[in-house]
Amino acid sequence: MELTIDQNCPSCGASIVLQEDDRLIRCTYCDVRNYRLESAAGRYLLPGRFPANLDESAMFYTPYLRFKGSIFYVHGAEVKHKIVDTSRLGIEADNIPISLGLRPQAMRLSPVVSTVAGSFIRQTVPTKSVFAQAAMVTELFGERRDRSVYHRAFIGETISLIYQPCYVRAGSIFDAVDYQLLCNEKLFENHLAVAGPGKASWEPRFISTLCPKCGGPLAGERDSRVLDCPNCETYWQESEGRFQSLAWQTVESAESTARYLPFWRITFETKGWSLKSYGDYLRLVNPPIVFGDRFDATPLSFLIPAFKINPKAFLQVAAQLTVSQWKLPEGKKCRVGNGYPVNLGQNEAIEAIKSVLAATIANKKERLPMLPEMVVEAEQCKLLYLPFIEQPHDLIQEHTMATILSAALRYGRSL
């Protein structure tokens, strides 16, 4: 479930209600659109209320890490997946709740800003181990990892820090949301000793959404990771606080009702595995067609969804398109009006390459144990819009017959 966040408009200060995944933020008061950067984990406060006359030095915030996304992992001869949506305490303390339960979803959160009174307890448990416990996948991330887990990747993730407001009174620690007694102050001494004020660098950052090339307004939806300029037909992706232009193409359809879905077309090099061309890859897949040396000069590229979708459907459509990509006509620079928003960034798509490879190759028992030796280095990442024909229950890519359940697509929007 998504979090709801109260944010002030960076342009006029009016209050706006956001969802955790929102990037493009439109203010209904000043009508300015800003883009929220995703460079660091978001930090939010639960809405606590401190008792009247409480000294500022008695107020503090305890960090919990929140994770939401899909994990793919290669275990034995199988590619498995799991959806994670959970929170977990980010410090070592036995006497306070290990998780926030439903609180983050049930309440309005606000971003941490440097003017918040009180001190912030520093996270002491490394994010990786908090995550492994929270997701109940210690066998994937722990010290003594299961030896038959050959690969793992976390895709479409959001990691945020949620702070629980607490206070000290008469030697005890209290929860400032429901005023329950948590524990004796002594048990928190070490954490309180190193607590400090919020930092300006923790605050959310925004950039303007004017096209860097022509100055026109960029278009997108609330969760778009890629914005486009309808005026000069360019596509932009944020990186290091600036919009960078993106190479893109569209495969056209003869059907006027086609729905265009975005994919990342990634060409890459591999070390440790001999996988130079599309022909090399097809020999590993061993499809029931005779292709000889026809694709030995074709560079290998993978087609990964540029949108969030449940993990099973994600792997399935990436596998179908990547294997049968030779059936796709050449793309053109032709902007589509009804394109689906890009809400999965290219770095996450690159992370998914090994899982798609593992899911598509034949002879898994023999080859998957060699997966850890393989290093993937992406060379080029292009946005490719592919036409899908809408059927009553699914969407079918007309050239390759790759299929996505309509329900999987709807579900992906709320992931």
User: Footprint of Zn ion on this chain (CB under 5 A)?
Assistant: 9, 11-12, 14, 27, 29-30, 211, 213-214, 216, 229, 231-232
Q: Strands 119-120 and 149-169, how do they pair?
A: unpaired
Q: Which is nearer to Zn ion, 34 or 62 (CB)?
A: 34
Instruction: Report in angstroms how near the CB of residue 235 gets to Zn ion at its nearest.
Output: 10
Instruction: Report in angstroms how near the CB of residue 6 gets to Zn ion at its nearest.
Output: 14
Instruction: Report in angstroms how near the CB of residue 213 gets to Zn ion at its nearest.
Output: 5
Radius of gyration of the chain (CA): 24
Q: Which is nearer to Zn ion, 212 or 279 (CB)?
A: 212
Instruction: Report in angstroms how near the CB of residue 368 gets to Zn ion at its nearest.
Output: 45
Q: Which is nearer to Zn ion, 211 or 323 (CB)?
A: 211
Q: Which is nearer to Zn ion, 247 or 375 (CB)?
A: 247
Instruction: Report in angstroms how near the CB of residue 11 gets to Zn ion at its nearest.
Output: 4
Residue 64 CA: distances (Å) to CA of 18, 46, 83, 170, 182:
20, 11, 19, 25, 16
3-state SS assignment for residue 272: coil
Q: Which is nearer to Zn ion, 215 or 299 (CB)?
A: 215
Phi first, then psi, for residue 62 (nearest 5°) are -100, 130
Structure tokens at 120: 């912030």
Q: Do the beta carbons of residue 371 and residue 150 sit within 8 Å?
A: yes
Q: Which is nearer to Zn ion, 80 or 213 (CB)?
A: 213
Phi first, then psi, for residue 249 (nearest 5°) are -150, 160
Q: Which of 291, 298, 245, 409 is nearest to 343 (CA)?
A: 409
Q: How far apart, in whole angstroms, are the C-alpha atoms of residue 74 and residue 315?
A: 12
**Which residues are CB-neighbours of 317 under 8 A, at least 6 positions away?**
305, 309, 402, 403, 404
Instruction: Report in angstroms how near the CB of residue 208 gets to Zn ion at its nearest.
Output: 13
Q: How far apart, in whole angstroms, are the C-alpha atoms of residue 340 and residue 308?
A: 11
Instruction: Report in angstroms how near the CB of residue 380 gets to Zn ion at its nearest.
Output: 22
Q: Which is nearer to Zn ion, 97 or 217 (CB)?
A: 217
A 10 A CB-CB count for 165 gives 20
